[in-house]
Chains A and B, each alone.
Chain A
Amino acid sequence: MILLEGVRKSYYVGEREIPILRGVDLSIQRGEFVIVSGVSGSGKTTLLNIIGLLDKPTSGDYTFMGKKVDGLSDEELSNLRNAHIGFVFQQFFLLPYLNALENVLLPLIYSKKGIRHPREKAKEILTRFGLKDRLYSRPAQLSGGEQQRVAIARALINDPDVILADEPTGALDSKTGSEIMELFRQLNQEGRTIIVVTHDPKVQAFGKRVLRIEDGYIYEASRP
């Protein structure tokens, strides 16, 4: 489903090249639960951005859902993101002027899938996540754990093929963090592909497969 071959990524400060990824080969299959670990600044977020089609590799090939990503237009990339990927971020990133339910429905504004009964579906997911009484609350009225669960609900509403989470527990206390990771594990058991980027060693225990990024290279730390 996800295939990276010799992917490099550099940023430029003036003339100076700062290599972040120095050649990553990676293949992820449907149904996997992958943890990408590494110290901060190791390039794990950059990798996630490339996998999530938010950023482009400087060189190398990326094939997503059997499609070569190189050379796709902004609109094609946007459509791929919408149809196949659900994002979860460290700081939740809910829109402050929308309530929980509206935040969950956001991806459907751009969706072409024609999800049936979207509001009922969103309520169903939020209810499952224990937010039945918070449907109409604004993000500012929710706790961190609640906000992150709304964000995960948002990631699920459009039936994505893969969920990408960047430090999803980074802004939460360890108990709430574990609850969120437990939620990811359940979703994976239901067959969803999940990729979590983290520097937190405790989180790594949840993954079936753990990768480590170091000095711009990727290593297989454990594989089932």
Chain B
Amino acid sequence: MGTSMRLRALKETVKEALKVIYYYKLRTAFSLLGVAFGIMAICVIVTTIDGANRKAYEIFETLGPNSITVFSGGEREASTRQRFYTLKREDADAILRVDGVYEVVQGYLIRDALVKYLDKNWQTRIEGVTPNYFESLKWGLSQGTYFTEEDNRQRRNVCVLGHKVYKELIGEGEAQGKVVVVKNSPMMVLGVLEERGGGGASHIDDRIVVPIATATERLRREFTYLTYIRVKTERDVEETMDDIRALLRRNHGLKEGTPDDFTIRSSRDVIEFLSVIKGSLYLFLGTASAIALLVSGFVLSNLFFLSIQQRRRDIGIRRAYGATRKGILSSFLLESVMVTLSGGILGMILSLLSKRVFEDLFDIPMYYSLKVVLLSLLFSFATGLLSGLRPALRAADLQPYEAIRG
């Protein structure tokens, strides 16, 4: 058989399979949906895990491996996202004297602040920081300048916009010298930070950075407490963390046996935290998708058996007119694989459509790559092949005269 004839035969077989799939609509719909949900779950898992990895990598890259962050409030408060202010400015000064520590950034966060520019409003967060914040994060500017130590000392109403805020409020053109209103205080824009997050659920670019004294004393009338202190050390990270913990417990007058009223995280902890999330994702969604695929494969297999009973004559006629055993086998497999592959594609589309829901649920941006597509296609192909194999073998093994008798 020549190549062109082989190609024509393949085209005919595919066309026929399409007709059969359409004729048995209900069976097709059931199998398709089952596979679609399974593949959707797989897509969500893989993209979320890839997203978590990228986020972890980004954080590691941004903070550096020698970075330690201390938050106000103990572990329990941190997990409920409540704010208890326990870190003081003097804690930051004390930490700077810890052996090995060569950089301390103070931070004060104001969440959900309304910012106005002309007739536009935007809800974002205000991050009050010491001026060494930018260098510490190696965060460059797309335009303008940073604020200075002098700005901080004078509690000047100046700010640097995150890329997202700039896009939302000003849109384009020069930002420097424009005045935005933050919580009823006018603030002069000095510059715009370069874009860092990969879009999606990433909050990195959605912030306004102001001098810490401006944030605490002008916007909040806060003269003592801080949200976080970020530290860099040239010593071993674990040892430095132990020293800081001991220092803070002493300064806060915590007795032995009482829990910390602060939370210390190294950038490695952040990665570990994300890997815990990844673990539960694997477990939860992995099980869900395995079950969905198994069930749909089982349903597909049984519906297939049924349809083979209905189509015995169909098989007999094809056999009489020259279909080989192999031909019957491959046409039934093709049919089953075409159904599950379409289910797989539908599943990918569903996962894309539900992207927002899952991103909000796990707070991790989903990352789609060629890998996800290939994996989904592979899994749906395998489901079709495996669930179609037994029925297809049965169909192929029917003796022609038996099949025709019906």
Q: Are B20 and A82 in contact (CB under 8 A)?
A: no
Find residues 5-27 in chain A having any chain B CB closer than 8 Å to their own CB. Answer: none
How long is the Cα–Cα vector from A19 to B365 in the complex, in angstroms? Answer: 73
Q: How far is the CA of A70 from the CA of B48 in the complex (A)?
A: 61
Note all chain B residues with C-beta closer than 8 A to A75: 324-326
Q: Given that A97-B19, A97-B20, A97-B22 are contacting pairs, would A78 and B319 also be in contact in the complex, using a CB cutoff of 8 Å?
A: yes
Which of these binds chain A: B9-17, B105-113, B137-145?
B9-17
Kindly state the separation between the CA atoms of A75 and B20 in the bound complex, as whole angstroms. Answer: 24
* A8: min CB distance to chain B, Å: 16
Question: Which residues of chain B in 324-345 are interfacial with respect to chain A, using CB atoms and an 8 Å cutoff?
Answer: 324-327
Give bound CA distance, A114 to B19, whole Å: 24
Q: Give B321's nearest chain A residue, CB to CB.
A: A107
Known A-B contacts A87-B320, A114-B5; A93 and B404 likewise in contact (beta carbons under 8 Å): yes
Q: Within the complex, what minimum Cβ distance (angstroms) separates B158 from chain A?
A: 74
User: Is A28's CB within 8 Å of the partner chain B?
Assistant: no
CB nearest neighbor in B for A85: B320
- Total residues of chain A contacting the partner, CB 8 A: 30
Q: Are B322 and A78 in contact (CB under 8 A)?
A: yes
Which residues on the B side are within 8 Å of A106 (C-beta)? Answer: 317-318, 321
Query: In the docked arrangement, what's the CA distance between A52 and B314, Å?
Result: 17
CA distance A78 to B324 in the complex (A): 5
The 0/1 profile, CB within 8 Å of A marked 1, for residues 277-293 of chain B is 00000000000000000
**Nearest B residue (CB) for A151:** B317
Interface size on B, residues (CB 8 A): 28
- Provide the A97-134 mask, 1 if CB < 8 A to any CB of B, else 0: 11000100011011110100000000000000000000
- Given A95-B314, A95-B317, is A109 in contact with B326 using a C-beta cutoff of 8 Å? no
User: Could you tell me which residues of chain A, from 44 to 90, have a CB within 8 Å of some CB in chain B?
Assistant: 49, 52, 54-55, 74-75, 78-79, 81-83, 85, 87, 89
Kindly state whether residue B399 has any CB partner on chain A within 8 Å. yes
Is B362 at the interface (CB under 8 A from chain A)?
no
Q: List chain A residues, Cβ under 8 A from B399.
A: 54-55
Docked Cα-Cα span, A106 to B322, in Å, equals 10
Q: Give the residues from 88 to 106 in chain B that come closer than 8 angstroms, CB to CB, to chain A.
A: none
Instruction: Provide the bound-state CA to CA distance between A4 and B272, in Å.
Output: 80
A65 to chain B, nearest CB (A): 15
Cβ of B316 within 8 Å of any chain A Cβ, yes or no, is yes
In the complex, what residues of B have CB within 8 A of residue A83's CB?
Answer: 322
Question: Once the chains bind, are B321 and A81 in contact (CB under 8 Å)?
Answer: yes
3 nearest interchain CB pairs? A82-B322, A110-B322, A97-B23
Could you write out 24 A-B pairs with CB less than 8 Å apart? A52-B320, A54-B399, A54-B400, A55-B401, A74-B324, A74-B325, A78-B325, A79-B322, A81-B320, A82-B321, A87-B321, A89-B404, A95-B314, A97-B20, A97-B23, A98-B16, A98-B19, A106-B317, A109-B12, A110-B322, A110-B324, A111-B322, A112-B5, A154-B321
Residues of chain A having any CB pair with chain B under 8 Å: 49, 52, 54-55, 74-75, 78-79, 81-83, 85, 87, 89, 91, 93, 95-98, 102, 106-107, 109-112, 114, 154, 158
